[in-house]
Structure 1
Amino acid sequence: MIVVTAPPDAVEQVLDAISAAGGGIIGNYTHCAFTNTGTGRFKPSAAANPHIGEKESINAVEEVRIETFCERQVAKAVVQAIREAHPYEEPVIYLIPLLDENAL
Structure 2
Amino acid sequence: MYKLTVFIPEEALESVKSALFAAGAGTIGDYQYCCWQVKGTGQFMPLVGSRPHIGVQDRLETVEEWRVEMVVAKAVIEPVITALKRAHPYETPAYDVIEVLDL
Q: TM-score, normalised by structure 1?
A: 0.94
- Per-residue deviation, residues 14-67 of structure 1 (Å, max 9, x unmatched): 110111001100111111111101111101012111111121111111110010
Determine the structure 2 residue equivalent to 1:13: 15
- The structure with the largest strand share of the pair is 2
Name the CA distance, whole Å, in 1 between partners of 2:66 and 2:99. Answer: 21
Aligned equivalent of 1:2, options 1, 4, 8: 4
Percent identity over paired residues: 41
Query: Does 1:40 pair with 2:42?
Result: yes
Pair 1:30 & 2:32 matched:
yes
Q: How many Å separate the matches in 1 of 2:35 and 2:82? A: 18
Counterpart secondary structure, 2:72: coil
Q: Which runs of 5+ in 2 are unaligned?
A: none
Q: Secondary structure at the match of 2:42?
A: strand
Q: How does 1:40-59 map to 2 (within 5 A)?
A: 40-59=42-61
Q: CA separation in 2, counterparts of 1:95 and 1:2?
A: 5
Aligned letter for 1:28?
D
How far, CA to CA, are the matches of 2:38 and 2:48 in structure 1?
30
Q: What TM-score do the two structures reach when normalised by structure 2?
A: 0.95
CA distance in 2, matches of 1:36, 1:54: 26
Distance (Å, rounded) in 2 between the aligned partners of 1:91 and 1:25: 22
Structure 1 residue runs of 4+, over 3 Å off?
none
The number of aligned residues is 101
